[in-house]
Structure 1
Amino acid sequence: MSPSSSSIAICSNIDVFAFGEHETQLVKPDEALTPKPLLIFTPLEAGEYPVVVLLHGYLLNNSFYSQLSHQIASHGFILVVPKLYSVTGPDATKEVEYVAEITNWLPEGLPKFLPSQVMANLKKLALAGHSRGGKVAFALMLNRLKTDMKLKYSALIGIDPVDGMDKGKQTPPKVLTYIPNSFNLEMPVMVIGSGLGEVRKNPLFPACAPKGVNHEDFYNECCKPACYFVAKDYGHLDMLDDETKGIRGKATHCLCKNGKSREPMRRFVGGVVVAFLKGFLGGNFSYLMAIKDDENAPVAIQKSAFLL
């Protein structure tokens, strides 16, 4: 069964915070042919491209990351963005198992849904996750559940990762140990944080990325090589699409402390992801090193750090 798709034209631009030189396409595979429903964002130009598996946050839809995914794909990456659940409880164990299953599906399954001239380079495979998806990504890479995967990931990215609602009350499987540099991942890691993630929207709701279980704690446990960026004045959900539809989409504007608009934070997240991958998967570190304290970044950088 042929997939449905839509295209976006991309203007050539070497700025990692802008759309890249590749025209991109969104592919929606038949759900019966994939382990979980998923979206694929791919360049259209002939070539072989690294692959990024991107995991959504708690009670969010994978479609909420479309603009971010198109931006990253336009710089020469294939993104696989699964929908891990519709409704779920606090235990993320099943999500870790789902991602392992999706990873094992990639070698035979992914090529069937790519344009004929596009090839996936699964020797350059990165795993990224936002919020609870970041926790799931770290749990999988730390092998908390002893999953069996055919492929080996080459890089890990936590986008404002959260390990539960409070220190000591992490949801299963627990990731944080609170022992500095205890994550022996044997791969490069990047952690991206939001300056407003630990700030409550109002007294009725907890912070979306509480201090004690957020990006700062994840980075503190990383080993070399690792890098860390925190965007000032932007919130936990500001990297999502400008418009997120449905009840869940409307809730994304109400539950977390937000910046003035999503576009700057989304461009920043896309840019640092591209720069990180171009460095550690492609060997060109000039983009990554240029971002540190970069006044031309679309957001003010509250903190940046490198363990190299």
Structure 2
Amino acid sequence: MSAGARVFRLGNHEVQLLNVEPGGAASSRLPPKPLLIASPTDGGDFPVLLFLHGYLLYNSFYSQLIRHIASHGFIVVAPQLYTLSGPDSTAEIHSAASTADWLPVGLPPVLPPSVRPDLAKLAVAGHSRGGKVAFALVLGRGARASLSFSAVIGIDPVDGMGRGKQTVPPVLTYVPGSFAMEAAAMVLGSGLGELPRGPLLPACAPAGVNHRDFAAECCPPSCYLVAGEYGHVDMLDDAPPGLRGRATHCLCKAGAARGPMRAFVGGAVVAFLRAFLEGDPRDLLALRDDPAASPVSLSAATFLLEETVTC
């Protein structure tokens, strides 16, 4: 196995999935939203990733993905921001911020014994509209958390139905390098996401508001990777339950299978978090130097890792 390929396989940590139900305003130890947490079970201090689901999806649809990330030594906290929502994502940004603010007091007691969150090493990631919310949170568009994020990751992020049809609050400005933030940024895209599934089904990640536009506004240090032969929801679980779960196989143009895309997203996230939360860039540099180590073919791979490079 090449050095760059190891992050695309499950890591060495045993992982436990935990469901934590929300509490009322009077309880600071219960989260503001339902949570799905993927945590290593062996004792130690672990960085934390706040993971935000996509539009009208459930956090449980990402259980295989967040388990992959956690198996490499990260605590992944995935709130269920809503079950139904309209085009305005302001409430989601506030919910993400309040979940982040809950972490210092509420997260330690719900983790397995001897597992401790290292909130000095905190990142946020989101898929689809959750990717927009992740960037909005770090940029302070709509709300800002009290904790600082060292990294932000957009997984096929979407900011509306098309250019000129952004949802509130808009995140994209269409000015290259306009994302002025201290956090390192990664954007992962899908090549099929901007293609409609059929004549009656619009693209799930339309051109003009998708990964390409988010990547253009990121300043170094940043990474931009695109899986050209995979679709917008191909990183979800293989068989998410219920009507919404079945719908994920019907609404977006998809690749041949979800496993390779999920391994790619999980591994790329792990490599990026190791570089910018733990100060260990070896896996990210290995992927840069050998893109063929990825389980999917990359149609774009841009690594702007030197902060001295200007936008």
TM-score range, shorter chain: over 0.9
Aligned position for 1:172: 168
Kindly provide the CA deviation profile for residues 93-121 of structure 1, in whole angstroms up to 9, marking residues without a partner as x.
00000011101100000011001210000
Structure 1 gap segments, 5+ residues each: 1-13
- 2:131 is paired with a residue whose SS is helix
- Read off the aligned partner of 2:16 and give its amino acid letter: Q
Which residue, out of 94, 107, 110, partners 1:110?
A: 107
Q: Is the 8 A contact 2:137 2:144 kept in 1?
A: no
C-alpha separation in 2, matches of 1:101 and 1:109: 11
Off by >4 Å, runs of 4+ in structure 1? none
C-alpha separation in 2, matches of 1:295 and 1:190: 19
Relative to the length of structure 2, the TM-score reads: 0.93
The answer to whether structure 1 residue 51 and structure 2 residue 48 are counterparts is yes
- 1:255 is paired with a residue whose SS is coil
Which residue, out of 9, 12, 16, partners 1:25?
A: 16
Relative to the length of structure 1, the TM-score reads: 0.94
C-alpha separation in 2, matches of 1:168 and 1:58: 19
Which structure ranks higher in relative contact order (CA pairs < 8 Å, sequence separation ≥ 6)? 2
- 2:291 is paired with a residue whose SS is coil
Which residue, out of 200, 209, 212, partners 2:208?
A: 212
Q: Number of paired residues?
A: 295
- 1:304 is paired with a residue whose SS is strand
Q: How does 1:24-173 map to 2 (within 5 A)?
A: 24-32=15-23, 33-145=30-142, 147-173=143-169
| Identical aligned residues as a percent | 59
- Read off the aligned partner of 1:194 and give its amino acid letter: S
C-alpha separation in 2, matches of 1:128 and 1:102: 13
- Read off the aligned partner of 1:61 and give its amino acid letter: Y
C-alpha separation in 2, matches of 1:163 and 1:17: 28
- 1:15 is paired with a residue whose SS is helix
Kindly provide the CA deviation profile for residues 58-116 of structure 1, in whole angstroms up to 9, marking residues without a partner as x.
00000000000000000000000000001110000000000111011000000110012
C-alpha separation in 1, matches of 2:79 and 2:121: 19
Summarize the Cα distance change of 1:172–1:188 in structure 2 as closer, same or farther, 3 Å threshold.
same
Q: Is the 8 A contact 2:138 2:183 kept in 1?
A: no
CA deviation after TM superposition for structure 1 residue 283, in Å: 1.4
- Read off the aligned partner of 2:194 and give its amino acid letter: E
- Read off the aligned partner of 1:79 and give its amino acid letter: V
Q: How does 1:257-268 map to 2 (within 5 A)?
A: 257-268=253-264
CA deviation after TM superposition for structure 1 residue 30, in Å: 3.0
- Read off the aligned partner of 2:135 and give its amino acid letter: F
